[in-house]
Amino acid sequence: MRAIQVFEAVARCGSLTKAADDLHVTVGAVSQQIANIEESLKASLFERRGRTLVLTFWGRLYYESVRVAFDQLRLAQQKLHVARAKPSIIISALPSLALRWLRPLIKEWRGANSDATIHSIGTDEEKPLSNDHIDFRLCYGAEVRNYSYFSELYTDYAVPACAPEFLAKNPVTSPADIMASPLISIEWDPDRAAGLSWADWALSVGEQMPERASELTFSLSASALDAAVAADGFVLAQISMVMDDLAAGRLVIPLDRRAKLPAPYFLAWDRDAIARPFGASFRSFLLAAGRRQGAASKGKAALPAPVPSASPDGAAALKAG
């Protein structure tokens, strides 16, 4: 391989001296390697014309393939260099988490790191990060075992939430009022760690689940939350996914009776991602955001206040339980 590398350099540079400079070796070493490869191939590859070396017929034939191979090797090195130096981050997350929790954080972080580029991927797939050159992954529960490097982000809590206009028509004074109202359910993937259902929440507040099924069921939390914003019923909302909706008044929490999710969310990362530009700071930013979210979800930090209804009945219905 060393002799082939020397041959490629001489053919490209056109002289032994220039090839030696290119390879940072002596002219004698270059001459010896050319003699070795010509002996191995049983063919003369160069002929001298004045001070210049030119390829023979056999040399040109051989160089056509060697040049392509070395061009590809140089391209591979260039790609690696660009990938390591490029100020971009690829992060993968569960779809609803990417949309509802991660998206506002990316906007915030980009405000202070405008030179960085972030590509966010929403997917349920849990696979080695290196397969798709992914730097970070947000996952839930035992799925974190798929990764070598990770840290806990936060444990979320869920609470009934609805649109203000829905609450105005369906006032709430107790958990029983919620269970008697139209409910929007989220169907968790059975292959993943368990989430929370309306039956779990009812049990936590000492109520019974009604015999009728929920009015609407969605496989994505984000879709269920959108249905609640559209005033279709109560949704058992994860606190981390409705912070913006609460602040904007799109959703309200009529009774602040929270139930803890069975497992935490985690941040996993590829080891090489931390060495790339912005990688370490982005990880620190997300972990700090996770600690804040954990405090807010647990109730140690205040949530955005519900927006009171314009009607007297609606305002009374917003009283916390």
Q: What is the pLDDT of residue 257?
A: 94
With tokens 């955001």, the residue in question is: 289
Whole-prediction pTM: 0.68
Architecture of domain 88-155+264-298: 3-Layer(aba) Sandwich (3.40)
What does each of the 321 residues of the chain score in pLDDT, given as a tens digit?
889 999 998 888 888 888 899 899 999 999 999 999 999 999 999 988 877 788 999 989 998 888 888 888 877 776 666 555 555 899 999 999 999 999 999 999 999 998 888 989 898 888 888 777 889 999 999 999 989 999 999 999 999 999 999 999 999 999 999 999 999 998 877 666 677 899 999 999 998 887 765 678 898 899 999 999 999 999 999 999 999 999 999 999 999 999 999 999 999 999 988 988 899 999 999 999 999 999 999 987 667 665 454 443 443 333 333
**How many other CB atoms are there within 10 angstroms of residue 270's CB atom?**
21
Determine the CATH number of domain 2-85.
1.10.10.10
- What lies within 8 Å, CB to CB, of 319 at 6+ separation is 173, 254
Alpha-carbon distance 81 to 282, whole Å? 21
Question: 49, 24, 19: which is closest to 34 by C-alpha?
Answer: 19
Buried b (16+ CB within 10 A) or exposed e, 205-238: bebebeeeebebebebbbbbbbbbbebbbbbbbb
Alpha-carbon distance 151 to 266, whole Å? 6
Task: Say which CATH topology domain 157-261+303-317 has.
Answer: D-Maltodextrin-Binding Protein; domain 2 (3.40.190)
The DSSP string of 143-159 is GGGG-SSEEEEE--EEE
With tokens 């002929």, the residue in question is: 47
Domains 2-85 and 157-261+303-317 agree in fold: no
Alpha-carbon distance 145 to 219, whole Å? 23
Displacement of CA 137 from its chain's centroid (Å): 4
Domain ranges of the chain: 2-85, 88-155+264-298, 157-261+303-317
Q: What is the pLDDT of residue 84?
A: 59
Q: What is the pLDDT of residue 83?
A: 58
Alpha-carbon distance 152 to 294, whole Å? 10
- What lies within 8 Å, CB to CB, of 49 at 6+ separation is none
Counting every residue, how long is the chain?
Answer: 321
With tokens 């010896």, the residue in question is: 32
Alpha-carbon distance 117 to 91, whole Å? 11
**Which element (helix H / strand E) includes 161?**
strand 157-161
**How many other CB atoms are there within 10 angstroms of residue 129's CB atom?**
24
Sign of dihedral through CA atoms 8, 9, 11, 12? positive
**How many other CB atoms are there within 10 angstroms of residue 70's CB atom?**
18
Q: What is the pLDDT of residue 191?
A: 65
Displacement of CA 60 from its chain's centroid (Å): 49
Q: What is the pLDDT of residue 71?
A: 82
